[in-house]
Structure 1
Amino acid sequence: MVNLVLLGVLVLAVGGCVCVVWAERGGPRWVRGVASVTLAASEVVRRSAKKNRRRRLGTTSGRD
């Protein structure tokens, strides 16, 4: 069951990446929408990883 969930996530990620490339080449409107959602989700994940890395290193936003 867990393998199916991970496979589904992998398929969605690869599909999103394909849509980003296709949108850059001028794909249809729905492809540009999927690409926008994919890029927004990647930004959320990137910011979350950055916050977790700071928290793990014990640094804060510079305020004492």
Structure 2
Amino acid sequence: MTVLLLGVLALAVGGCVCVVWAERGGPRWVRAVAAVTLAAGELARRPRRRRVTGGDGGGGADD
């Protein structure tokens, strides 16, 4: 588990480094990694919607 978390941390830090480097005019592959990093950040910030699978929808004003 620790190795997995360290791997995710390394990818996040590497992505941030590529974003900064791309802002300063890095090579094409750095700009591609930066674009992927920024897109992943946007996806992570989106609110997640819960699906209602049945029932009354999980509570309301009458509960």
TM over 0.5: yes
Residue of structure 1 in register with 2:48 after alignment: 51
Q: Determine what percentage of the aligned residue pairs are the same residue.
A: 74
Structure 2: state its 5+ residue gaps: 51-63
For normalisation by structure 2, the TM-score amounts to 0.75
Which structure shows the higher helix fraction?
1
What is the alpha-carbon distance in structure 2 between the residues aligned to residue 46 and residue 34 of structure 1? 18
Q: Which amino acid aligns with 1:42?
A: G
Structure possessing the higher radius of gyration over alpha carbons: 2
* Moved segments of 4+, more than 2 Å: none
* Structure 1 gaps, min length 5: 56-64
Please give the alpha-carbon distance, in whole angstroms, between the structure 1 residues aligned to 2:48 and 2:39. Answer: 17
TM-score, normalization by structure 1 = 0.74
The Cα of 1:51 is off from its aligned counterpart by 3.0
